[in-house]
Amino acid sequence: MFSNKTVLITGASSGLGAALAHAFAEVGANLALFSFEKERQEEVAASCRRLGVEAVPVIGDVTSTEDCARYIDTAVSELGGIDVLLCNAGISMWSKFEDIEDLGIFRKLMEVNFMGAINCIHPALPHLRKSKGVITAITSIQSKIGVPLHTGYVASKHALQGFCESLRMELEGSGVDILTVLPHWIRGTDLRKNALSGQGKALGESSRKHSSESVSVEEACSAILDAIRDRRRDLILPWKLKVLMALHVVAPNMAESIIKGAVSHQDAAKGS
């Protein structure tokens, strides 16, 4: 299905975005890759081209409407259109709200995680209408269930999830489908290391370890490609998180107790 299709991926210089770029290249998709990390993005594009596909690196910031418009224009002019727009760029956080010293963290999380997707979807939509394409947004299981120490991240992902659900209804009958991907923590990415502390700095090597419930980046990529191919509405990774979501509806106190326990366990493992 993806052979000779055009796939756009934001945040594609590392982590899940880079892994998705390689996964799409392996099945023959041409790529337009977007991030602010010039050297790393060009390396990912080059490695994808070695798999026999076109891969165009575009350097810019998802928080800039001008950069995002240029990204979409470049993808269309060089690759001929857009079949899949995959909004992956994002940052996380790890801090109690009362310990936050720089409230600008919240603005940054919203600008990257929410507006970063909006800034790309808006100029891409006319092209996706023409191709009857798929918008894919990497939200989070935290877009449905709150998690302590992640207040700003949860808020930004709630916003993105709600936007996608609303836009899906507006686009009914247009041929454009929207997939939201709601993963647990994903191993093999730098999201934890780059998560913001209460001081607004990246946690770096002091970042917490992933829980045993996390999924590998390879598992995530395989599931995401399958879900796009099937034009699904949503994808929850791993599937058993559906049980937690159901529990959150019928017994919220119990669900929150489980969540708090899992986060406390990881917080205690800091630096280990």
Residue 263 counted as domain residue: no
- Alpha carbons 36 and 190: distance in angstroms, whole number: 15
DSSP letters spanning 82-146 = -SEEEE-----B---GGG-S-THHHHHHIIIIIIHHHHHHHHHHHHHHHHT-EEEEE--GGGTS-
- Alpha carbons 4 and 166: distance in angstroms, whole number: 30
Domain that holds residue 73: 6-242
Residue 255 counted as domain residue: no
Residue 131 counted as domain residue: yes
Residue 251 counted as domain residue: no
Nearest to 84 by CA among 170, 12, 160: 12
Marked catalytic residue, from 24, 106, 153, 163 = 153
For residue 236, give the CATH number of its domain. Answer: 3.40.50.720
Residue 25 counted as domain residue: yes
Residue 138 counted as domain residue: yes
Nearest to 120 by CA among 173, 61, 50: 61
Judge whether 71 counts as a catalytic residue.
Answer: no
Residue 126 counted as domain residue: yes
* C-alpha distances in Å from residue 234, one per residue of 97, 112, 165, 197, 239: 30, 21, 10, 30, 11
Q: Find out whether 229 and 1 touch, Cβ atoms under 8 Å.
A: yes
- Alpha carbons 137 and 115: distance in angstroms, whole number: 12
Residue 123 counted as domain residue: yes
- Number of domains, the chain: 1
Per-residue pLDDT in tens (0 to 9) along the chain, 272 residues: 899 999 999 999 999 999 999 999 999 999 999 999 999 999 999 999 999 999 999 999 999 999 999 999 999 999 999 999 999 999 999 899 999 999 999 999 999 999 999 999 999 999 999 999 999 999 999 999 999 999 999 999 999 999 999 999 999 999 999 999 999 878 866 665 667 767 666 666 544 454 556 789 999 999 999 999 999 999 999 888 888 888 888 988 988 888 888 887 665 444 43
Question: Residue 60 is encoded by which pair of tokens?
Answer: 């810019």
Buried b (16+ CB within 10 A) or exposed e, 95-132: beeeebeeeebbebbbbbbbbbbbbbbebbbebbeebe
